[in-house]
A and B are shown apart, each in its own frame.
Chain A
Amino acid sequence: QKEVEQDPGPLSVPEGAIVSLNCTYSNSAFQYFMWYRQYSRKGPELLMYTYSSGNKEDGRFTAQVDKSSKYISLFIRDSQPSDSATYLCAMGAGGTSYGKLTFGQGTILTVHP
Protein backbone atom coordinates (compact mmCIF):
# COMPACT_ATOMS: atom_id res chain seq x y z
CA GLN A 1 0.00 0.00 0.00
CA LYS A 2 1.33 3.45 -0.93
CA GLU A 3 1.80 6.02 1.83
CA VAL A 4 -0.36 8.48 -0.11
CA GLU A 5 -3.31 7.39 -2.23
CA GLN A 6 -4.91 9.61 -4.85
CA ASP A 7 -7.45 8.69 -7.48
CA PRO A 8 -5.77 9.37 -10.84
CA GLY A 9 -9.06 10.06 -12.57
CA PRO A 10 -9.31 11.36 -15.21
CA LEU A 11 -11.94 13.81 -14.07
CA SER A 12 -13.88 15.81 -16.64
CA VAL A 13 -16.25 18.61 -15.59
CA PRO A 14 -18.08 21.47 -17.31
CA GLU A 15 -16.93 25.04 -16.82
CA GLY A 16 -18.34 26.54 -13.63
CA ALA A 17 -18.57 23.22 -11.76
CA ILE A 18 -17.25 22.66 -8.26
CA VAL A 19 -14.37 20.20 -8.30
CA SER A 20 -13.39 18.03 -5.36
CA LEU A 21 -10.00 16.32 -5.29
CA ASN A 22 -8.94 14.04 -2.46
CA CYS A 23 -6.03 12.12 -0.99
CA THR A 24 -5.73 9.68 1.85
CA TYR A 25 -2.55 8.81 3.68
CA SER A 26 -1.27 6.31 6.19
CA ASN A 27 1.75 8.01 7.81
CA SER A 28 0.74 9.74 11.06
CA ALA A 29 3.98 11.75 11.00
CA PHE A 30 2.78 13.93 8.12
CA GLN A 31 2.16 17.49 9.31
CA TYR A 32 2.48 19.57 6.14
CA PHE A 33 0.01 19.15 3.32
CA MET A 34 0.30 20.67 -0.10
CA TRP A 35 -1.42 20.70 -3.43
CA TYR A 36 0.68 21.13 -6.54
CA ARG A 37 -0.69 21.86 -10.00
CA GLN A 38 1.11 20.52 -13.05
CA TYR A 39 0.26 21.64 -16.54
CA SER A 40 1.07 19.36 -19.44
CA ARG A 41 4.82 19.17 -20.15
CA LYS A 42 5.63 21.52 -17.24
CA GLY A 43 7.00 21.15 -13.72
CA PRO A 44 4.65 21.09 -10.71
CA GLU A 45 3.95 24.41 -9.00
CA LEU A 46 2.70 24.92 -5.47
CA LEU A 47 -0.98 25.82 -5.32
CA MET A 48 -1.96 25.50 -1.67
CA TYR A 49 -0.17 24.69 1.57
CA THR A 50 -1.71 23.75 4.94
CA TYR A 51 -0.11 22.90 8.23
CA SER A 52 -1.92 20.31 10.39
CA SER A 53 -5.73 20.09 10.40
CA GLY A 54 -8.08 22.81 9.21
CA ASN A 55 -9.18 24.75 6.18
CA LYS A 56 -7.41 27.29 4.01
CA GLU A 57 -8.99 29.39 1.31
CA ASP A 58 -7.30 31.24 -1.54
CA GLY A 59 -9.62 32.71 -4.14
CA ARG A 60 -11.49 29.88 -5.82
CA PHE A 61 -9.42 27.22 -4.05
CA THR A 62 -10.04 25.70 -0.63
CA ALA A 63 -7.80 23.11 1.00
CA GLN A 64 -9.04 20.96 3.86
CA VAL A 65 -7.08 18.65 6.11
CA ASP A 66 -8.63 16.12 8.49
CA LYS A 67 -5.75 14.48 10.33
CA SER A 68 -8.06 12.26 12.40
CA SER A 69 -9.28 10.62 9.20
CA LYS A 70 -5.95 11.01 7.36
CA TYR A 71 -7.79 12.70 4.52
CA ILE A 72 -7.13 15.89 2.61
CA SER A 73 -9.19 17.66 -0.02
CA LEU A 74 -8.90 20.44 -2.55
CA PHE A 75 -12.03 22.20 -3.75
CA ILE A 76 -12.11 24.36 -6.85
CA ARG A 77 -15.12 26.64 -7.20
CA ASP A 78 -16.32 28.05 -10.52
CA SER A 79 -13.84 25.89 -12.39
CA GLN A 80 -12.32 27.32 -15.56
CA PRO A 81 -10.77 25.67 -18.63
CA SER A 82 -7.44 27.11 -17.43
CA ASP A 83 -7.74 24.85 -14.36
CA SER A 84 -7.24 21.82 -16.62
CA ALA A 85 -4.09 20.19 -15.28
CA THR A 86 -2.85 17.35 -13.09
CA TYR A 87 -3.28 18.03 -9.37
CA LEU A 88 -0.82 16.34 -7.04
CA CYS A 89 -1.19 16.17 -3.31
CA ALA A 90 2.06 16.14 -1.33
CA MET A 91 2.86 15.61 2.32
CA GLY A 92 5.82 16.11 4.58
CA ALA A 93 6.77 15.31 8.13
CA GLY A 94 8.63 17.64 10.46
CA GLY A 95 11.84 17.05 12.30
CA THR A 96 14.59 15.24 10.43
CA SER A 97 12.65 14.62 7.25
CA TYR A 98 14.95 17.12 5.46
CA GLY A 99 12.18 18.42 3.28
CA LYS A 100 11.20 15.05 1.90
CA LEU A 101 7.78 15.22 0.29
CA THR A 102 5.67 12.19 -0.53
CA PHE A 103 3.39 12.76 -3.49
CA GLY A 104 0.12 11.18 -4.53
CA GLN A 105 -0.21 9.87 -8.06
CA GLY A 106 -1.98 12.98 -9.26
CA THR A 107 -5.52 13.51 -10.58
CA ILE A 108 -5.90 14.58 -14.20
CA LEU A 109 -8.60 17.27 -14.42
CA THR A 110 -10.18 18.59 -17.59
CA VAL A 111 -12.61 21.52 -17.46
CA HIS A 112 -14.46 21.83 -20.73
CA PRO A 113 -16.14 25.04 -21.92
Chain B
Amino acid sequence: DTAVSQTPKYLVTQMGNDKSIKCEQNLGHDTMYWYKQDSKKFLKIMFSYNNKELIINETVPNRFSPKSPDKAHLNLHINSLELGDSAVYFCASSQVGGRALDTQYFGPGTRLTVL
Protein backbone atom coordinates (compact mmCIF):
# COMPACT_ATOMS: atom_id res chain seq x y z
CA ASP B 1 0.00 0.00 0.00
CA THR B 2 1.72 3.17 -1.25
CA ALA B 3 2.47 5.73 1.48
CA VAL B 4 2.79 8.86 -0.71
CA SER B 5 1.32 8.63 -4.18
CA GLN B 6 1.30 11.10 -7.04
CA THR B 7 -0.65 11.28 -10.27
CA PRO B 8 0.20 11.38 -13.04
CA LYS B 9 3.69 9.80 -13.16
CA TYR B 10 4.43 11.38 -16.51
CA LEU B 11 3.03 14.56 -18.02
CA VAL B 12 3.90 15.84 -21.47
CA THR B 13 2.27 19.07 -22.53
CA GLN B 14 2.63 22.15 -24.71
CA MET B 15 3.86 25.55 -23.59
CA GLY B 16 1.05 27.77 -22.39
CA ASN B 17 -1.16 24.95 -21.13
CA ASP B 18 -2.46 24.61 -17.57
CA LYS B 19 -1.92 21.33 -15.72
CA SER B 20 -2.40 19.83 -12.26
CA ILE B 21 -0.50 17.23 -10.28
CA LYS B 22 -2.15 15.41 -7.39
CA CYS B 23 -0.63 13.99 -4.24
CA GLU B 24 -2.10 11.81 -1.52
CA GLN B 25 -0.56 10.37 1.64
CA ASN B 26 -2.04 7.60 3.76
CA LEU B 27 0.45 7.95 6.63
CA GLY B 28 -1.73 10.21 8.75
CA HIS B 29 0.89 12.96 8.53
CA ASP B 30 0.11 16.59 9.25
CA THR B 31 2.55 18.24 6.84
CA MET B 32 2.95 17.93 3.10
CA TYR B 33 5.49 19.45 0.71
CA TRP B 34 6.11 20.08 -2.97
CA TYR B 35 9.67 19.92 -4.31
CA LYS B 36 11.08 20.52 -7.77
CA GLN B 37 14.08 18.50 -8.99
CA ASP B 38 15.80 19.88 -12.06
CA SER B 39 17.81 18.02 -14.68
CA LYS B 40 20.95 18.30 -12.54
CA LYS B 41 19.21 16.50 -9.66
CA PHE B 42 19.03 19.68 -7.59
CA LEU B 43 16.02 19.28 -5.25
CA LYS B 44 14.41 22.49 -4.04
CA ILE B 45 11.40 23.04 -1.83
CA MET B 46 8.50 25.00 -3.28
CA PHE B 47 5.65 24.84 -0.78
CA SER B 48 4.62 23.22 2.47
CA TYR B 49 1.21 22.82 4.11
CA ASN B 50 0.53 21.92 7.71
CA ASN B 51 -3.05 20.84 8.39
CA LYS B 52 -4.23 22.62 5.24
CA GLU B 53 -2.39 25.83 6.15
CA LEU B 54 0.41 27.15 3.91
CA ILE B 55 3.58 27.42 6.01
CA ILE B 56 6.39 27.49 3.47
CA ASN B 57 6.12 29.48 0.26
CA GLU B 58 9.46 29.78 -1.44
CA THR B 59 10.23 32.18 -4.28
CA VAL B 60 8.14 30.45 -6.89
CA PRO B 61 6.33 32.12 -9.84
CA ASN B 62 2.70 32.76 -9.00
CA ARG B 63 1.78 30.54 -11.95
CA PHE B 64 2.24 27.76 -9.40
CA SER B 65 -0.63 27.40 -6.95
CA PRO B 66 -0.83 24.67 -4.34
CA LYS B 67 -4.13 23.57 -2.85
CA SER B 68 -4.76 21.34 0.13
CA PRO B 69 -8.39 20.17 0.34
CA ASP B 70 -7.58 18.14 3.46
CA LYS B 71 -4.43 17.13 5.30
CA ALA B 72 -4.06 13.93 3.28
CA HIS B 73 -4.03 15.67 -0.09
CA LEU B 74 -1.90 18.38 -1.66
CA ASN B 75 -2.32 19.35 -5.29
CA LEU B 76 -0.20 21.58 -7.49
CA HIS B 77 -1.72 23.58 -10.30
CA ILE B 78 0.52 25.22 -12.87
CA ASN B 79 -0.77 27.90 -15.23
CA SER B 80 0.75 28.97 -18.54
CA LEU B 81 3.44 26.30 -18.56
CA GLU B 82 6.93 27.33 -19.71
CA LEU B 83 9.86 25.30 -21.01
CA GLY B 84 11.73 25.96 -17.75
CA ASP B 85 8.99 24.19 -15.78
CA SER B 86 10.19 20.86 -17.16
CA ALA B 87 11.42 18.91 -14.15
CA VAL B 88 10.45 16.14 -11.77
CA TYR B 89 8.02 17.29 -9.09
CA PHE B 90 8.04 15.41 -5.80
CA CYS B 91 5.45 15.45 -3.10
CA ALA B 92 6.51 14.57 0.45
CA SER B 93 4.93 14.33 3.87
CA SER B 94 6.12 14.38 7.48
CA GLN B 95 4.46 13.45 10.72
CA VAL B 96 4.22 16.47 12.96
CA GLY B 97 4.08 20.21 12.49
CA GLY B 98 6.78 20.69 9.90
CA ARG B 99 9.94 20.38 11.95
CA ALA B 100 13.31 19.80 10.33
CA LEU B 101 13.86 16.72 12.47
CA ASP B 102 10.76 14.95 11.15
CA THR B 103 11.50 12.40 8.45
CA GLN B 104 10.06 13.40 5.13
CA TYR B 105 8.61 10.62 3.01
CA PHE B 106 8.71 11.24 -0.70
CA GLY B 107 6.36 10.16 -3.43
CA PRO B 108 7.60 8.59 -6.69
CA GLY B 109 7.63 11.91 -8.55
CA THR B 110 5.83 13.37 -11.57
CA ARG B 111 8.04 13.90 -14.61
CA LEU B 112 6.79 17.01 -16.38
CA THR B 113 7.97 17.77 -19.89
CA VAL B 114 6.93 21.03 -21.52
CA LEU B 115 7.34 21.13 -25.31
Contacts and interface: CB of A to CB of B under 8 A. Distances in A.
A106 B106 contact: no
Contacts of A46: 103-105
B94 A103 contact: no
Nearest to A94: B100
B26 to A, nearest CB: 15
A105 to B, nearest CB: 5
Chain A interface mostly: strand
A109 B108 CA distance: 20
B42 A99 contact: no
B90 interface: yes
A108 B39 CA distance: 13
Interface string A44-74: 1110010100000000000000000000000
Nearest to B45: A100
Interface in A66-113: 86, 88, 91-94, 97-103, 105-106, 108
Interface string B4-36: 100000000000000000000000000101000
A5 to B, nearest CB: 11
B33 A99 contact: yes
A79 B109 CA distance: 27
A105 B100 contact: no
Contacts of B4: 43
A99 B41 contact: no
Given A105-B40, A105-B42, A92 B100 contact: yes
6 contacts: A44-B43, A44-B106, A88-B43, A100-B56, A100-B98, A103-B44
Interface of A: 8, 31-32, 38, 41-46, 49, 51, 86, 88, 91-94, 97-103, 105-106, 108
Interface of B: 4, 31, 33, 40-45, 48, 50, 55-56, 90, 92, 94, 97-109
Which 3 interchain pairs have the tightest Cβ spacing?
A92-B100, A43-B106, A99-B98
